[in-house]
Amino acid sequence: MPKITAIQTIRTRAAGRWVFVKVLTDQPGLYGIGSASDHYHSSTVITAIETIAPLLIGREAGAIEDNWQSVYTSGYWRNGSILNTALAGIDMALWDIKGKEAGMPVYELLGGATRSAVLAYAHAGGNDLTELEDDVRRYMEEGYQVIRCQLGNYGGGGFLPGAEAGQPKNAAPLERVFDDEAYLKNIPEMFAHLRDTVGFGPKLTHDVHEHLRPHNAVALAKLLEPYRLFFLEDLLSPEQVHWYRAVRQQCVTPQAMGELFINPHEYVPLITERLIDYVRVRVSKGGGITQCRKIATLCEWFGVHTAWQEGGDNDPVNQMAAVHLDLASTSFGVQEENHFTPEEYDLFPGFARLEGGYLYANSQPGLGIDVDEEKARALLDPALAARAYFMAEDRRVDGSIVRP
């Protein structure tokens, strides 16, 4: 069995927000690739991986579960976003090695494919109802069955011009403010318009991005019930998930939750109490393939489905890891799509193909994807990578931050 000889990191994308792990073995040419990207803490994740590496050097690469458990407890404190991301990158790389050694795709090692391709949902948006409708129709023409609908950007539909929103006289200038009541008015009107114009054929979703106060979140779920959403995404913040019990009591609007989840104590109660319908943990933030296949199995027994989170900051390696899980899992529901530039795709031989609303893996051994290190270095802009990046701040009329 191959042994781990080195663990390296590859940082790329123009701003350096993508981090990949390369695990080398004592068998010539046998290595694995994993995703450890973190949009805001790339350097911190790299340091964590470098700290973990000495623990695994010399160990058997095929002892994936034992290696996962060892790293998970190695720092005593666990279930943090940085450790999970570092662990996930190493874990994906070890599954990649295992598949290459066996001469099989990872989904075959996980039990074999249960479907031909992975259903993906598109992201439609517009600054007004006409723009949004046009975008929805565009995706329908491309073959997408499931389409997310946003009026404006995240939290769109609840933003008002800052100068006209009744701010305190000593308030700092804001271009826009978020308002719960505007959201409760505009989003149901958005879906009423879409159902009137495009009908009930397309399956529609919406991302609240955890912007609403809990009681207003419950009210929104109830107001949207007549429009038969495929799911309502991230209705509540992780700190307020107990409110999903009230949502279940009020309506049957399907709920998808978990973009910010990193701890089993967050998602296990929601699954086992059947309070959500789709779990949206990002594979790299959940601890990798080893942990997320366990989440998928738990979902199966409680009638919950997976919809692993991708988003615009994600990368093709994490996407491919999600695709392998999706292919092998009977609890799969839908996968968030992601588009990359031609220059970015060029870095990743074997990337998942997105066509007509489906993601397609390949039949190559392991994850079936690689990273061209020379092109990765060329894409990185050192000046941009040296900057600090933070989540955008949305604020209410009185200047207080809206916590996503």
- Tokens 């039990």 correspond to 111
Helix or strand run (H / E) with residue 152: none
Nearest to 324 by CA among 98, 38, 167: 98
Q: Is 305 a catalytic residue?
A: no
Distance between CA atoms of residues 91 and 364, nearest Å: 19
Determine which helix (DSSP H) or strand (DSSP E) holds 79, and give its type and residue range.
none
Catalytic residue among 39, 72, 154, 389: 154
**The pair of three-digit structure tokens given for residue 351, joined into one six-digit string:** 């990337």
Beta bridge partners of 120: 335
Asked about 154 being catalytic, the answer comes back as yes
Identity (one letter) of the amino acid at 27?
Q
What three-state secondary structure class fits 191?
A: helix
The HSE-up count of residue 91 (CA atoms within 13 Å, CB side) is 29
Q: How far apart (Å, rounded) are the C-alpha atoms in residues 237 and 149?
A: 20
Question: What is the rounded CA–CA span in Å between residue 236 and residue 218?
Answer: 9
Kindly state the tokens that stand for 141. 């023409």
Q: Is 284 exposed, middle or buried (0-12, 13-18, 19+ CB in 10 A)?
A: buried
Structure tokens at 83: 């450790």
Q: For residue 7, how many other CB atoms are within 10 A of its CB? A: 23
206, 209, 211, 305: which one is catalytic? Answer: 209
> What is the distance, to the nearest Å, from the Cα of residue 140 to the centroid of all Cα atoms in its chain?
23
Distance CA 189, CA 185 (A): 7
Rounded to whole angstroms, the Cα distance separating 373 from 9 reads: 10
SS3 of 305-321: the string is EECCCCCCCCCHHHHHH
Report which secondary-structure segment, H or E, holds 203.
strand 203-207
Q: Active-site residue numbers?
A: 154, 209
